[in-house]
Amino acid sequence: MAEVELTDLTILKALELLENRKITSYELVEFFLEQIKKYDPLVKAFLYVDEEGVREGAKKADELRKKGHKGKLLGIPLSIKDNICIKGLPTTCASKILQNFIAPYDATVIEKLKKEGALFLGKTNLDEFAMGSSTENSGYFPTRNPWDLERVPGGSSGGSAVATACRMGLGSLGSDTGGSIRQPAAFCGVVGLKPTYGMVSRFGLVAFASSLDQIGPIGLNVEDTALLLQIIAGHDEKDSTSFPLEPLDFLNFIKNNLNSRYKIGLPREYFEAEIDPEITKALESLIDLLKKNHEIKTISLPHTEYAVATYYIIAPAEASSNLARYDGVKYGFRYKEAKSLMEMYKKTRAYGFGKEVKRRIMLGTYALSAGYYDAFYLKASKVRTLIMQDFLEAFKEVDLILTPVTPTPPFKLGEKIFDPLQMYLSDIFTIPVNLAGLPGISLPIGLTSNNLPIGAQIIGPHFKDELVLSMAYQIEKELNLKMIPSLLRS
């Protein structure tokens, strides 16, 4: 396959080539394994590459296609964030505490992808237990941004965004608790969707903050992202938070609604925040473009200023509870030289967890402790309701909301790692979406003068993911950008 074909290749184009017998799935897999060998030593997107498994899968996919099978992703190689279980493969959450853990079952999203014939190249790096905004908090190594190797790819799904941007696979799954799909998608120049909470099953996703976590797709364009969502969405009895709703044909919806007109809200509070001038300029150009076909209206989301503080009480509190299971008893790392059970618990967690995870467990345990529960967790839950009500009121006036994804372009490795507050503020525009359980997408809208990607975020009402995808598709068609990282052009 020629280099030119590679940069143009998407899931839908690859499916067309496979269908017309121009390529085989085996050739496709070999090509992407070569890409991984070439670029992954530089960017470190993968924690584990399943060469043998993916080759076997490709051979089977080719045989099935010859026999007339029509899986929606038959023979398409993807990567998966390493906090989503694939039976028989490592699931480490980029933590030393799960270093040798092999998943005994498939997550529901993996079952759905397998049913449609998808192949898995491997598991991608993340901030440990998905706690971070830069993929520097991985227990193994940081991932680097393919647009500038000195910069972060965003987090926590940094490995998934980089693998997709570097064409080391045709798409990926990530998870988003406070911006962990959208922020790395913006930093790496790809498309990332956080679906409505309950749209996609969380069964088989290792829990961080259960009322906020959501699995979502990362793609090279909006069409691929819509197709991936179409396959992974839907009700699942194994997840009590999964909503009993039949998913739409998202791909057909966005194509049939290419000329739909929408009322788009611009939240005053987001645009008055401290934003890099180049991001502001790119958004202003986009808004001018949208004014031709859509109604633009300034709106208010008055409780936005409390979102980060609210999130950093609720998410650590839920993490403190969820991560109590990692104690060295049932699975994962165990400190073997302990002379008592209590010492084993303490030393296992002290050596097994990284600094950021320990920081959040301690914050969460404090917020839930006797005498502080009402002052912190209960109050944060009430503010969360106010934030959700802000959005519900706004959606009475507008169909969709447009905002920045991040306040800055990708920052340098090490720049914020010792300043947790600055790191937490990287997610200031994405966190409210998780607190309210809404769908949100990040898509590229341009480059800075330093050739770094800029993203825009579109937010929709609950279970209106198709509107979010539709608006993103319109913007993508209008801008017609070709987002190829510097690393692939060097």
Q: What pTM does this model have?
A: 0.97
Which are the contacts of 364, defined by CB distance < 8 A and separation ≥ 6?
Answer: 315, 316, 317, 318, 319, 320, 321
Q: Which of 134, 156, 157, 172 is the catalytic position?
A: 156
Question: Structurally, how many domains does the chain consist of?
Answer: 2
Domain membership of residue 217 (yes or no) is: yes
* Single residue among 381, 405, 423 that ends a domain in this structure: 381
Same domain? For 117 and 182 the reply is yes
Same domain? For 237 and 338 the reply is no
Domain membership of residue 289 (yes or no) is: no
Same domain? For 26 and 58 the reply is yes
Confidence at residue 1, expressed as pLDDT on a 0 to 100 scale: 54
* Single residue among 321, 351, 381 that ends a domain in this structure: 381
Tokens of 367: 């917020």
DSSP H or E run through 268: helix 268-271
Distances (CA, A) of 51 to 92, 283, 296: 18, 41, 49
Count CB-CB contacts under 10 A for residue 268. Answer: 14
Same domain? For 404 and 454 the reply is yes
* Single residue among 327, 349, 381 that ends a domain in this structure: 381
DSSP H or E run through 465: helix 465-479
Residue 156 appears among annotated catalytic residues: yes
Same domain? For 324 and 202 the reply is no
Which are the contacts of 379, defined by CB distance < 8 A and separation ≥ 6?
Answer: 313
Confidence at residue 245, expressed as pLDDT on a 0 to 100 scale: 87
Domain membership of residue 297 (yes or no) is: no
Domain membership of residue 286 (yes or no) is: no
Same domain? For 157 and 133 the reply is yes
Domain membership of residue 287 (yes or no) is: no
Same domain? For 377 and 229 the reply is no
Residue 159: which CATH number? 3.90.1300.10
Q: Structural domain of residue 376, as residue ranges? A: 305-381
- 190, 145, 178: which is closest to 428 by C-alpha? 178
Which are the contacts of 301, defined by CB distance < 8 A and separation ≥ 6?
Answer: 267, 268, 269, 270, 387, 390, 391, 394, 432
Domain membership of residue 251 (yes or no) is: yes
Same domain? For 233 and 127 the reply is yes
Q: Which of 133, 138, 157, 180 is the catalytic position?
A: 180
User: Averaged in consecutive runs of 10 residues, what is the pLDDT profile of the chain (490 residues)?
Assistant: 67 96 96 97 98 98 96 98 98 96 97 98 98 98 98 98 98 98 98 98 98 98 98 97 91 97 98 95 98 98 97 97 93 92 96 96 94 93 98 98 98 94 94 98 98 98 98 98 93
Q: Are 47 and 82 in contact (CB under 8 A)?
A: yes
Count CB-CB contacts under 10 A for residue 341. Answer: 11
Domain membership of residue 284 (yes or no) is: no
Same domain? For 192 and 51 the reply is yes
Same domain? For 354 and 415 the reply is no
Q: Which of 25, 72, 79, 81 is the catalytic position?
A: 81
- Look at the chain and count its residues: 490
Same domain? For 117 and 155 the reply is yes
Domain membership of residue 275 (yes or no) is: no
Residue 442 appears among annotated catalytic residues: no
Same domain? For 318 and 447 the reply is no
Count CB-CB contacts under 10 A for residue 331. Answer: 15
Q: Are 249 and 280 in contact (CB under 8 A)?
A: no
Residue 180 appears among annotated catalytic residues: yes
